Amino acid sequence: MHKIAVLPCDGVGPEVVAEGLKVMAATELYDVKYELVEYDIGGERYLRTGEVMPDSVMEELGQCDAIYLGAVGHDEVPPGILEQGILLKLRFGFDQYVNLRPIKLYPGVATPLKDKGPEDIDFVVVRENTEGFYAGMGGQLKAGTPDEVAIQTGVYTRKGTERIIRYAFELARKRGKARQLTMVDKANVLTHGHDLWRRTFAEVGQEYPDIKQENAFVDACCMWFVKNPEWFDVVVTTNMFGDIITDLGAMIQGGMGVAASGNINPEGVSMFEPIHGSAPKYRGKNVICPVAAICAAGMMMEHLGEVAAAAAIEGAVARALASGKLGDLSTRSGVKTTEAGDLIASLVE
């Protein structure tokens, strides 16, 4: 029995999570045994009680087998409070050091890239998820005065760098596609931190002679994601760069409506979520595409070892997208969130 914590959180989170759970329920023929425990976390609770993420909830989440999260961010809460207090607290607190973000263009989905199709866009970004500029190191001096100073430091540890690079090498092997790993950095400017990344990559790379190893600067990487996405198989990068390039990645795979992610601690509690935000202005309107959240549920099933159920979800998503019945996957598609979920659930086989 898998114990799955469900955190719908803010904005459109609850709506897309409901569709993900609907599609999970439709895999019952695979006899996956799971129990859902829902938590009332997010902007509403914060506004009501002042609590962001109580220790008692963290403790209970630590007893679960996986966390399924909707989206974080509330229009009446200043930016940062919920992002740091919920999302980053979970990622850091459970040491989910891998942020796995597949960039896959499904047949039937439109990409803004001219002359590129599903055979060209199929790679995975492995984003470091616990260090870099997200570590919160630094401070402000004389804030709000003309003399103010702000310092925000990127943190890179040998341990943190090595484990994410090793994970990416293993993934390149497991995928068995081009057997290629590209490390994305800015070693030509960030000569301290990203030198550590380069040296670690070269060193760990010696253990993987079967994997082709490449370096790319992050600016050039943005160019190639657009110009030659077919060059990529597995990409490993730092936390901030991974955040940025996966929004670009989401666009080339058909939009935020389809981009899913896993925050993974291979030895601990992992968390699965769509990469889109809470989109407060669409809350309750039943217009958000739930495919990303449904794909995140599929990634969660796979992580829990339910490979057949995961494949069934992926298959249903692929068939729904290929049918053209989901429209352009935007909020203006004319397809309701619940209808999209119904369709995908009905296509599980």
Asked whether position 243 contacts ligand IPM by CB under 6 A, the answer is yes
Cβ proximity to Mn ion, 131 vs 243, nearer residue: 243
Cβ 240 to ligand IPM shortest distance, Å: 8
Map the footprint of ligand IPM across residues 272-301, applying CB under 6 A.
275
> Is residue 115 annotated as a catalytic residue, yes or no?
no
> Is residue 243 annotated as a catalytic residue, yes or no?
yes
Rg of the chain's alpha carbons, rounded to an integer?
Answer: 20
Asked whether position 83 contacts ligand IPM by CB under 6 A, the answer is yes
Query: Which entry of 142, 177, 219, 227 is annotated as an active-site residue?
Result: 219
Pairing of strands 260-264, 98-104: antiparallel
> Is residue 247 annotated as a catalytic residue, yes or no?
yes
E strands along the chain, which residues? 2-9, 34-38, 66-71, 98-104, 122-128, 132-141, 149-155, 180-185, 212-217, 234-237, 260-264, 270-274
CA 78/CA 104 separation, integer angstroms: 33
Cβ proximity to ligand IPM, 85 vs 108, nearer residue: 85
Asked whether position 243 contacts Mn ion by CB under 5 A, the answer is yes
Evaluate whether 291 touches 297 at the Cβ level (below 8 Å): no
Cβ 114 to Mn ion shortest distance, Å: 26
Cβ proximity to Mn ion, 122 vs 243, nearer residue: 243
> Is residue 177 annotated as a catalytic residue, yes or no?
no
Asked whether position 87 contacts ligand IPM by CB under 6 A, the answer is yes
CA 5/CA 94 separation, integer angstroms: 14
Evaluate whether 54 touches 89 at the Cβ level (below 8 Å): no
Cβ proximity to Mn ion, 185 vs 243, nearer residue: 243
* CB count in 10 Å sphere of residue 172: 26
> Is residue 219 annotated as a catalytic residue, yes or no?
yes
Map the footprint of ligand IPM across residues 3-62, applying CB under 6 A.
none
- The residues carrying an active-site annotation are 134, 186, 219, 243, 247
Residues engaged in binding ligand IPM (CB under 6 A)? 83, 87, 243, 275
